[in-house]
Structure 1
Amino acid sequence: MGSTYQRAITPDEWMYLGLPMAQDIQYVIQGEGDLRPEDVVTALGRASEASPGVRLVRRGKLWVDSGISPAVHVMDGPLDRRRLDAPALQTWVGDPQTTFEVLLFPGDPASVVLRGRHTVTDAGGLALWAADVFRVLRGQEPLGAVSPLNSTAFLEGVCPDGLPPIPPLAGALNWPSPLGPVPAGIRKVVWRNRTVDGTHPAATAKVAAALAAAYGPEGRGRFFVPVDLRRHDPDIRSTAWLSQALILDVDSGEEWEHVHRTLLAALAEGKEIALRTDPSMMRMPLPLIRLISKAVARTAARSDRYCALGFLTHLGTFDLADFSTDGFRATAMYTLGGTGPGTPPAVDLMDAGGRTEITVTWLDGPGVADRAEALLDTVEEALSPSRNRRWEGNLTTRTVPAQGVMELIRAQERQEPDRVALTGPEGEVTYRELSRRADAVAHELRRRGVGRGSVVALLADRTVAAIAGIWGVLRAGAAFLPLDPLHPDRRLADVLTDAEARHCLVQQEYGGRGLFASGCEPLPLDDLSRAAQDQPEFPDAKARPDDLAYVIYTSGSTGRPKGVQIEHGSLLNYLHWALDMFHIDAETRLTLMTSLSFDVSMTSVFGPGMVGGSIVLVPDRINHLTLRRLLEHSGATMLNLTPSHLDLIGQLDVQPVGCTGVIVTGEQLRVEVAARAQRMFGEKCRIINQYGPTEATVGCTAHVFDETGDGEATAVPIGRPGYNTTVHLLDERHRFVAPGETGELYLGGAQLARGYLGRPGQNAERFVRLADGTRVYRTGDLVRVLPSGELSYVGRNDDQVKVRGNRVEPAEVARALERHPAVDRAVVVARARPGGSGKMLYAYVLAHADVPPEELEVHTARLLPPYMVPAAFLTVAELPYTVSGKVDAHALPDPFATDDAPVDTGPSAGPATAISDPVTQAVAMVWSRVLDIPKEQLDEQADFHRLGGDSLALLSMLAEASRELLSQGGEETFMANLHKIIDKPTLEHVAALAREAGAGGG
């Protein structure tokens, strides 16, 4: 024997010992990874030493500690939760005298079953021990459960004035089984399990009301609701059977809210304490108990009448992290209940991993399993009535051709080799020439061992060589990683290291940048793409749907950018939908005007080439001059841009012709901007609002703007899902929302990314599975379904913002600031831009030394892309906090409010002085309109960015200033100094450059 731990057998336990079939309580934990049997054996030993109640054997009317830890049994194969008919779950596998054991089911998923006899434990006691086992597996100390109290002694402590009388159960066998009659006799148990998304308050009452209405005589029902007695003494840690049931009666037509109030009142009065087994049961021999149980079972089966409609138990909420280890991540946890002769079916509920697990348990018989599934349908509808209410257009199933993207492009080259594939400043390039250049890149990459599984980076502008480089990487069977030349070297070097890219195709002018110390070899993109005129056609690698096509890095909430991995199958599905949705065909001339590291560009990089159309390259930085040249001289028939770019186009004095479509994506599209564009481009031009996160491959919903139908709203809808894409809206408890309600958008289907490269934690957080097993991406976007059946974007449920179409996590900006040696703490928040749409980033720092805003700006610009550099840097003495301990963003000072206490924001913080120069006055008037601030607040040292102007607002300001102050020739001269303006956007400097370009007759 082991320790001196022992406890007396209670009447409940004595009665269960006399039942003719085992009463086991079982938790099933399924997950990814592996649990080694030897590790589990070791963990059981330590956890059981801390909880000796799991080592009990019966000695007469005592439970005593045997000193022997529960055994581990390794099964032959995986556990199928859809059937749950494994023989090992029906019988005790090890020594029948033991009271706890563990079953390991290897496979994918792997499963571990922790089980205990109901004669010595209950669900709460088993859960305490199970959590301790996993604590030990994680290298932690077990909490233990050493209390020797049985339920009788426990209740006597709870009720020092005496226990309440045991109530009689009048008309005990008066309720039909919800699962129909079963033949008399002992047979195996049948379990059916269902998972419902979300956690559901008042679940017990909702289920009771639904089952009574569906199965009870005249809609009435009685349920036994087991209650964990530990609630009366939360400090007690015991594995003993410490639960009692209370009776819950439901009247005909009673709403669940009333049932819930009844249940709460019963719990408040502690009514579960009364429903105990009569102590006189201890005087009855076990064989006699067995005979009586068999007689009750025969009577119940013959009459199909039981003491209640069912046992209805909610076991509580479980965090799957508590049942995970370094090598095993729990993905689901549910219970398998027990049953006995003459007892009604059991319905067990528990919350695990943000879902509600439901298990129905009863004796097997003809049709019982099917009827259990029907009962689960009733329970699911009671908890999640919105789950199956699909709105029109939620899924468009379409078979996508098996040919890969590069196969389709190669076919266009062979069909019409002299057709124009690219146009732009470098002239027209045919399919033959572009394909030859792509083949040259592919040959060189293959010579260097690049192939399937390799990641090849590309550092280039929007050039012919860049397109050839991307196509060449895919033809070699590798994946490409586009880098933005505007990003700082340190960030690009980090990305190359993180992606383990061994080669980088580099545009000539960027070859000298210091970012290749990571082991990545730079290759001259321009030279490679022009080499080997006489090389044979490259034998294209045939891409499989699950091969990696590209990796694009986005801002990361952990402070590090994360690489999104897109496979060929996802890209192909998107492109076929995009070709149809946007009407891209052989006559299309589609612009490429966004950075190649912005996944929006993929539509232009691949779409036209699949159908014989052409790409219009716009390599220059976007401003009103490049946009005017694009619209008036490029011959583009379709634009692919952000709402900010479209807003800037709307300010131009041009009348574009021949444009059949404008694809707008990356940010929320305002109706005002879309309507102005519609009038500018004409009725025959389709303004298409596309939505989609990088993790769902460029875009997955779209809406064609209709000024008549959309005119009443502020923002243009984001439309309906594309091919083979599903949309799910869930609330903060992960429950499906009712039609018309706002919910977080979860995307599923063919376009989901493989996941984040090397980020298992973020993958588990964002790429999740719904209860039915559907893999979805949790976007963080709040959306609702309009009466038209289309989706409308509402906002975000976190701090993420869009800046010029780029996703920005303020936490990443704050982490970059905290790398400055003088900064102790940084907080970055997004606020509405003064006088304009969208938001801007503002940084607040706690510093232990004086540090000017200019220095912080330079520091941040060395680490982050331009669009992530805050518009203002404020040094504050302290940070305000909410009562929950979070930084109170609303209490932070507004850097542009005139009545705030003085804060150090930079050169423009001082009081304005009068402006006498007429050109400067004219520029100030433009600034006043664009920034929506009084002209009197401006002086010559005013800084455009520090007054709230972002890059697109700067371009709008320059366009207005050019139009009002300069001739066409002067405008060209003025805009040639764009880099100088960006470096020093003060009112005095901008006015001086305008004066040099001819403003004011100078």
Structure 2
Amino acid sequence: MGIAPDRAVINHLVEGDGTLRADDLAHAVAVASEANPGARLVLRDKRWVDSGKAPEVRALTAESFDRKRLDSPALRIGLTDPTCEVLLVLGDPTTVVFRAAHAVMDGRGLLMWASDVFRVLRGEQPLGADSPLNNDDLLRRVCTPDDPPPRAEDPAMEFPSPLGPRPHPAAGPLWRRRSVDGTHPAASAKVTAALVAAYGPGRYFVPVDLRRHAPDVRSTASLSHPLHLSVGADDGWEEVQHKMLTAMADREELANRANPGIMDLPLPVLRAGIAELDDNAARTDTHTGRAYVSHLGAVSLDDFSTDGFHATSLYTLGGVNPGSPPEINLVEMAGRTEITVAWYDGPEVAARAEALLDVAQEALSPRERREWVGNRTERALPSAHSVVRLFRQQVERTPERIALSGPEGEVSYAELSRRADAVAGALRRHGVGRGAVVGLLAGRSVAAVAAVWGVLRAGACYLPLDVRHPDLRLSELLTDAGSTFCLVERPYDVRDCVPEGCRALLLDDLVEAEPDGGVDAEIGCGDLAYIIYTSGSTGRPKGVQVEHGNLANYVHWATRVFEVDEGIRLPLLTSPSFDVSGTSVFLPLLAGGQVILMREDPNHLSLRRLLEFSGANALNLTPSHLDLIGRLDIAPKGFRTVIVIGEQLRVEVAARAQEMFGPECRIVNEYGPTEATIGCTAHTFDPVADGDGAVVPIGVPADNTTVHLLDAQGRFVAPGEVGEMYLGGAQLARGYLGRPDLNRERFPVLADGTRVYRTGDLARVLPSGALEFIGRVDDQVKVRGHRVEPAEVAQVLEGHPAVDRAVVVAKSRPGQSGKALYGYVLANREVAEEELEQHLAERLPGYMVPAATMVLSQLPYTVSGKVDVRALPDPLGDQPRAQADPAGPVNDPVQDAVARIWAEILGVPPSRLHALADFHRLGGDSVSLLAMLAALGREVLTPDAEAALMARLPEILREPTLERVTALVRQAGSELAA
């Protein structure tokens, strides 16, 4: 056990992002070693004694550590006196190496010491492991007469190494490493069974931590003993696992204890005997077993992190004992398993070590799961230029062609470019350039489109703001983004939404100014193009940073897949703050096509006018708006593409749209979170192939984009199984602005080094090869195409002085395909729902305000202490009942017609539709309200009366009761009759 402490050294390597100072590390090592005296042991007269001296911390340069070969002169140094040390390798990544002679520490003990070092670095107290028990002491304490007797060492060494003969005389160490995605039950058994299949049956060793027999003992000593497993050629991993568990249940590792008398031999004699054992193994290529398969267990990388250093991986470079076979070490952490091989260096050994790691990796993560054919998306871009340069080139080619049309008239490419240059020049005069974030508060207007191009030409990135959002919300976003300028369009310049430190510039004046003749900024792929905020589960919205390289890849892919050319006329229907607006702005203008601006929000009347009279031949919209269009009694002509994104597309909605737009029009279902730049998969609806399903597939990945399906343990799922989507590739955003912790959580790195975005969306690969969206792994919900985190809404509710606790949940709406938000609060005083709604409306976008909010006396909880969502009362079940109105008519055909349409749209029984029934409290949202009004226009009103009713839309929104809507319908008809 401690006879030749220089022969086997254990190395734990902690890699991470950030920096560590050598002085700070040395202090932490000293404090942690005081609490873990096993790190200070030296050999004196065949006894280990505490030297009282902390292990040394040595700083190495990146050049002195070969990360590919896992080699450094510092790692080849044996440890005799002292027996422990720490290496700090500067570079990327920063690496801390904890080294200990196996004679004084085992892998678990080294972890105890290392984690205490990081506790001290975080300003915490070390847990300590100061038990003086060594291996012999522990065995005497835990062994009983019923335990297996000491095993007589088998002198026969019958097994060749799977890595080939060890060079002779003694050679230096060789290590190789492989990272595998996910954590894997019975990993040791699976790897062992795979080795048997590849290299043959025989004896395999599995070290077992003796601390399991004395859980009260905290010691860093070398307290691991190997199990001897005889594995047959036909043993699968289940049989290996059964043998391992059975042996542990029988405490067989206790039998592998050394003869105590060996310590009485003179040290030179011991060294000579060990050398002879080692030489014989090298000479004959026979060893006591096939391999050691050591599993260190699961570690938390948070335990090896500080405020300035975040651990990204931990792995072990083991040492090989005399006469022993190669050592295979496994360590698991969140979403990752690290596998390393330790052996002696020599000809072809490195290649054989990599082959062995291939075997181990395949056992845990089969290639057929890792390498989906759908991810073969490599495609060279047709141009390396940024969208700024591409737009400038398009203007030069077609200066007189119409770029924009709409209520403001037609604007040519040359005129749009002139206005963009005017904005860019003004920004340059204000010192705005690369790296700056410029807010943009404007509607769907010519000035807004010019502002986008102007900001980009100045080299800055734009932050689109929704004019419908409350002032407080807009101010918070501008502050969080660090915007020093905000371009504001009339009439929004009178709003109090620009915070201190940010200057408002009137956009209307800028676009009419004369350009300064300046040249466009040089744009790199890594420069920011825009920042868009999405809802945050922590209660704070998140600013997604999209780079020019991300945007360029999307533009080229989408232009090809959506068949965009100079003939396209695509309306801009969505708010500029919704990232799908990028499809409508960038694609047509970079292809020589036309953008049709729609100033008013989409409703059934404006959409009907758009489809029939605007000249549009393509659409880009959400499934909710497509569903609304499908309810209109029209037959649009000349449309060639309808792009649908933002929510799950139901087959019935797609089929109805296909029938409406005709067989020549492609209905394309696009999927993509903001973090992957607008859209990253697409599927063209096929009424025959997709008709039997409930939802339309989301297709295959975009060019240079990948989709990986992983389970809850981070493992690749088998073909056809459901997994969470992790997106990778050229469209992956830079990350969240100023949120490093969230970036690490949502933008992890796969084992092969691929940076991905963890979507929270579930999908599977269909037999056709297309992806099918299944649902969510969390509480996030889509409302009108926007992502909403209920936790953010709940936090805003709790900001009301009357609210002590708030819970917001997403519930299915009666008769609707999507979900709506509902709030529940515990209040410290009487508070009306209207007051809470006003509080939310002043701080959140309209789509984030719950359809109803209830004040409860208490919240229901499950036995685990979580809010029992299923036990929350129905927020729609307490509608007030109307009193009979003696002055009103007994039979009201108008109200009956309105009620019938409500029942159809909301999917509620007519019995619930009394005079005071509230459309929103019954589960209706803005889109279903528009569908209801469209049905009224189609079935109850004349076209002129329908227009008159829509003019009263603000009144309907303020009081959407059956009684009030009926009265307005009646008024609309009577006003025209008068």
TM range (shorter): over 0.9
In structure 1, what is the equivalent of residue 49 of structure 2? 64
Answer yes or no: is 1:995 the counterpart of 2:967: no
> How far is the alpha carbon of 1:741 from its aligned partner?
0.5
**Contact 2:906 2:924 survives alignment (8 Å):** yes
In structure 2, what is the equivalent of residue 557 of structure 1? 537
Match of 1:917 among 886, 892, 909: 892
In structure 1, C-alpha distance between the alignment counterparts of 2:534 and 2:884, rounded to whole Å = 43
Indicate how the Cα distance of structure 1 residues 177 and 912 shifts in structure 2: closer, same or farther if over 3 A, else same.
Answer: farther
In structure 2, what is the equivalent of residue 946 of structure 1? 921
> How far is the alpha carbon of 1:149 from its aligned partner?
0.7
> How far is the alpha carbon of 1:80 from its aligned partner?
4.0
In structure 1, what is the equivalent of residue 277 of structure 2? 296
> How far is the alpha carbon of 1:677 from its aligned partner?
0.4
In structure 2, what is the equivalent of residue 430 of structure 1? 412
In structure 1, what is the equivalent of residue 937 of structure 2? 962
* Number of residue pairs matched by the alignment: 971
SS in 1 for 2:373: coil
**Contact 1:624 1:649 survives alignment (8 Å):** yes
SS in 1 for 2:388: helix
Letter in 1 for 2:270: I
**Contact 2:335 2:715 survives alignment (8 Å):** no
SS in 1 for 2:435: coil
Match of 1:380 among 361, 369, 382: 361
In structure 2, what is the equivalent of residue 244 of structure 1? 225
Answer yes or no: is 1:124 the counterpart of 2:124: no
SS in 1 for 2:235: coil
Structure 1 residues 318-329: aligned runs within 5 Å: 318-329=299-310
In structure 2, what is the equivalent of residue 605 of structure 1? 585
**Contact 1:912 1:938 survives alignment (8 Å):** no
SS in 1 for 2:2: helix
Match of 1:489 among 471, 478, 483: 471
In structure 2, C-alpha distance between the alignment counterparts of 1:103 and 1:481, rounded to whole Å = 45
Structure 1 residues 639-658: aligned runs within 5 Å: 639-658=619-638
Letter in 1 for 2:533: Y
In structure 1, what is the equivalent of residue 391 of structure 2? 409
In structure 1, C-alpha distance between the alignment counterparts of 2:517 and 2:600, rounded to whole Å = 32
Structure 1 residues 21-36: aligned runs within 5 Å: 21-36=6-21
> How far is the alpha carbon of 1:882 from its aligned partner?
2.5
In structure 1, C-alpha distance between the alignment counterparts of 2:156 and 2:478, rounded to whole Å = 72
SS in 1 for 2:733: coil
In structure 2, what is the equivalent of residue 984 of structure 1? 959
In structure 2, C-alpha distance between the alignment counterparts of 1:13 and 1:841, rounded to whole Å = 65
Percent same amino acid among aligned pairs?
Answer: 58
Range with greater deviation from structure 2 (970-979 or 670-679): 970-979
Match of 1:882 among 862, 867, 881: 862
> How far is the alpha carbon of 1:29 from its aligned partner?
0.5
**Contact 1:43 1:137 survives alignment (8 Å):** yes
**Contact 1:332 1:353 survives alignment (8 Å):** no
In structure 1, C-alpha distance between the alignment counterparts of 2:355 and 2:60, rounded to whole Å = 31
Indicate how the Cα distance of structure 1 residues 69 and 911 shifts in structure 2: closer, same or farther if over 3 A, else same.
Answer: farther
Answer yes or no: is 1:662 the counterpart of 2:642: yes
In structure 2, what is the equivalent of residue 814 of structure 1? 794
Match of 1:936 among 881, 898, 911: 911
| CA deviations over 1:154-205 (Å, ceiling 9, x no partner) | 1222125476311234463111211011232211100001000000000011
SS in 2 for 1:584: coil
In structure 2, what is the equivalent of residue 13 of structure 1? 2
Answer yes or no: is 1:87 the counterpart of 2:68: no
SS in 1 for 2:759: strand
| CA deviations over 1:759-785 (Å, ceiling 9, x no partner) | 111101001100011111111100100
In structure 1, C-alpha distance between the alignment counterparts of 2:745 and 2:714, rounded to whole Å = 13
In structure 2, what is the equivalent of residue 445 of structure 1? 427
In structure 2, C-alpha distance between the alignment counterparts of 1:888 and 1:755, rounded to whole Å = 34
In structure 1, what is the equivalent of residue 87 of structure 2? 103
> How far is the alpha carbon of 1:282 from its aligned partner?
1.3
Poorly superposed stretches of 4+, deviation over 6 Å: 999-1002
In structure 2, what is the equivalent of residue 499 of structure 1? 481
In structure 1, C-alpha distance between the alignment counterparts of 2:867 and 2:178, rounded to whole Å = 40
In structure 2, what is the equivalent of residue 701 of structure 1? 681
Q: Which runs of 5+ in 2 are unaligned?
A: none
SS in 1 for 2:748: strand
| CA deviations over 1:104-149 (Å, ceiling 9, x no partner) | 1001111110111111111111111100000000000111111001
In structure 1, C-alpha distance between the alignment counterparts of 2:139 and 2:868, rounded to whole Å = 47
Match of 1:455 among 427, 430, 437: 437
SS in 2 for 1:635: coil
Q: Which runs of 5+ in 1 are unaligned?
A: 1-11, 903-907
TM-score, normalised to structure 1, is 0.95
In structure 1, C-alpha distance between the alignment counterparts of 2:357 and 2:155, rounded to whole Å = 27
In structure 1, what is the equivalent of residue 177 of structure 2? 193
> How far is the alpha carbon of 1:444 from its aligned partner?
0.4
In structure 2, C-alpha distance between the alignment counterparts of 1:916 and 1:512, rounded to whole Å = 49
Letter in 2 for 1:28: L
In structure 1, C-alpha distance between the alignment counterparts of 2:707 and 2:736, rounded to whole Å = 21
Match of 1:778 among 745, 758, 763: 758
SS in 1 for 2:455: helix
> How far is the alpha carbon of 1:530 from its aligned partner?
1.5
| CA deviations over 1:520-563 (Å, ceiling 9, x no partner) | 1111111211222xx45441112100000000000000001010
Range with greater deviation from structure 2 (239-248 or 155-164): 155-164
Indicate how the Cα distance of structure 1 residues 650 and 632 shifts in structure 2: closer, same or farther if over 3 A, else same.
Answer: same
Range with greater deviation from structure 2 (264-273 or 167-176): 167-176
Structure 1 residues 236-385: aligned runs within 5 Å: 236-385=217-366
Letter in 2 for 1:931: L
> How far is the alpha carbon of 1:885 from its aligned partner?
2.4
Letter in 1 for 2:787: R
Match of 1:44 among 29, 44, 49: 29
Letter in 2 for 1:352: M
SS in 2 for 1:840: strand
Match of 1:146 among 125, 130, 133: 130
In structure 2, C-alpha distance between the alignment counterparts of 1:162 and 1:716, rounded to whole Å = 65
In structure 2, C-alpha distance between the alignment counterparts of 1:415 and 1:928, rounded to whole Å = 55
SS in 2 for 1:769: coil
In structure 2, what is the equivalent of residue 767 of structure 1? 747
**Contact 1:919 1:999 survives alignment (8 Å):** no
In structure 2, C-alpha distance between the alignment counterparts of 1:147 and 1:297, rounded to whole Å = 33
In structure 2, C-alpha distance between the alignment counterparts of 1:645 and 1:324, rounded to whole Å = 47
**Contact 2:882 2:915 survives alignment (8 Å):** no
In structure 1, C-alpha distance between the alignment counterparts of 2:247 and 2:875, rounded to whole Å = 56
Match of 2:378 among 397, 414, 427: 397
**Contact 2:763 2:774 survives alignment (8 Å):** yes
In structure 1, C-alpha distance between the alignment counterparts of 2:83 and 2:138, rounded to whole Å = 21
Letter in 2 for 1:464: V
Letter in 1 for 2:777: N
**Contact 2:131 2:217 survives alignment (8 Å):** yes
In structure 2, what is the equivalent of residue 8 of structure 1? none
SS in 1 for 2:898: helix
> How far is the alpha carbon of 1:372 from its aligned partner?
0.2
Answer yes or no: is 1:178 the counterpart of 2:162: yes
**Contact 1:912 1:936 survives alignment (8 Å):** no
Letter in 2 for 1:119: A
In structure 2, C-alpha distance between the alignment counterparts of 1:790 and 1:186, rounded to whole Å = 55
Letter in 1 for 2:326: P
SS in 1 for 2:669: strand
Letter in 1 for 2:511: S
Range with greater deviation from structure 2 (659-668 or 52-61): 52-61
Range with greater deviation from structure 2 (156-165 or 681-690): 156-165
In structure 1, C-alpha distance between the alignment counterparts of 2:961 and 2:250, rounded to whole Å = 72
Range with greater deviation from structure 2 (846-855 or 547-556): 846-855
In structure 2, C-alpha distance between the alignment counterparts of 1:688 and 1:763, rounded to whole Å = 31
> How far is the alpha carbon of 1:353 from its aligned partner?
3.4
In structure 2, C-alpha distance between the alignment counterparts of 1:484 and 1:550, rounded to whole Å = 14
